[in-house]
Every structure is written in C-alpha cells, then in structure tokens.
Amino acid sequence: MRGLCRAGLLAAVFAAPAACAAAPPDCARIEHMLECMSWIETRADGNGHADYLGRVERYAGDETRVAIDNGGHRIEALLLGNGRRFVKGEAAGALPEDPAAFVGLVATPPLLWLSMLLEEGARWPAPGAPLERVASTDWAYGQERYRVRIEASADAGYAIEIVKTETVSTPEPAPTPDPSGTFATISTDEDRAARLAELAPVGMRIAARVRLQPPSPPLPDDFSLQGWTPQPGAAAATLGEARRASP
C-alpha cells in the first residue's frame, strides 16, 4: 500500500501506541484520516452482497458512537472515555469481541482503498477543485481499474467516491507444441475463473463522507441507555450514570 503507515492505521483504530503516530498527524494528508476525523459515514453497494452503511462520530471527552446497518441488521456501539462499552442491536454476522474495533469496520475500508489507489502523500482538495484519479491494482491475470473522486463539501468535510470501472484479463498464452510429447500443456482456465470470481464486480462502489474537525459536543448526561448492553460491566440507565461508574 502506498502512503499508509500500517502501525499508524492500527493505532488510530484501536488506540494502540505506534512509532509512526508519535508526532502530531498532518491532517491535510489523506493518509491521516483516521487520526484526524471527527466523523465518517461509509456506504458500500454493488458488490454482490447486502448494501452496507456505517457511521462513526467522535465526541468531546474521548467518547465515540458507531452505527452499522448491514442488509437491514443494525448494531450500535457506544465507547466511553472511562473505558465503559455498550452495544445495541443485532448483527448480521460475527463481530469483534472488543466494541472499539467497530470503529475500524466503518473507517478502515475507504482509507485502505485510497492508500492503494492514490499517490503517496496525497492531500485533501480545496473547495471547488476536486481530486480525481483513474488508477488500477493488479490481480493474478490482469488488472482492476477504478475511478476515485474526492470533493470538499459545504459542511467543512469531504465526499469520497471509489468505483470499480473495469476488470482487465491478460490473454492466455498460446500453447507451445512439444514435438516429443514429453510435456503436457497446462491450461490456466480453471484457476483464472476461480480468481476472477473472487474479485469485486464492475460497478462496485464505496462512498464516504468525512469531517476533519474537532470532536462534536458531548452527548447529554440524560441520554437513555435503555436497550444498550454493557460489554462488560453493570447496566446503566443513562449516559451520565455510565460516565460516573468505574469500567
């Protein structure tokens, strides 16, 4: 991947220490999106699976709220600054044991795609001057081609769109006759078809909206936690009660 410090990515998602994240991040660079964002909303469709919508919002006081809607199954996670974790809803499949990893489920996909498709050190565009790129990645028998567009939005954020436009397959070399008959010609047709089936279909689209600003104002103390399950710890009636409790 170009332009992405993997340790920095993991640090941003899981709050783990990382050498490359020791210095304050340059928030004008796209690769530091996870460290600098106050919220992100990610949508994926056209990939042959259920449509996906995820949102992360960070609040003052080191608190984060995550919502994921995957094919009609909605789950939310609330991560408090004192270490308390609460989950609400039903997931479509297996989820991370640590609710904090939900942040990565939403925020990591667009960043990983951008790191593969943009040049190292790419920066957020200015209003009225969208960043547009046509880029490709390799697969076993050719290339996948994508269109990338990032535009500054009116709410001091950015709109990101990544669309797969083409799958290119290199022709299979013509078999070379072996007059002696000692060596059999091996076809790659079956392996080529299997690898092709693993690729995202043409038209696959990932869209995200990102705001790079200070965290949002904190949620109110009287925010109800009815229906929220602590993970782990004791239940709480309100957010204020959960904030005052020990993890």
CA dist 143 to 36, 136, 140, 168, 204, Å? Answer: 32, 6, 8, 5, 15
pLDDT tens over the chain, length 247 residues: 343 443 344 344 444 334 344 678 899 999 999 889 999 999 988 666 667 889 999 999 999 999 988 877 888 999 999 989 999 987 655 666 676 787 888 888 898 999 999 999 999 999 999 999 999 999 999 999 999 999 998 777 999 999 999 999 988 777 666 666 666 566 778 889 999 999 989 999 999 999 998 899 999 999 999 999 998 788 999 999 999 987 6
Torsion sign over Cα 85, 90, 92, 93: positive
Peptide bond into 173 cis (omega under 30): no
Q: Say if residues 200 and 165 touch (Cβ distance below 8 Å).
A: no
Task: State how beta strands 142-152 and 205-211 pair.
Answer: unpaired
List beta partners, residue 224. Answer: 238
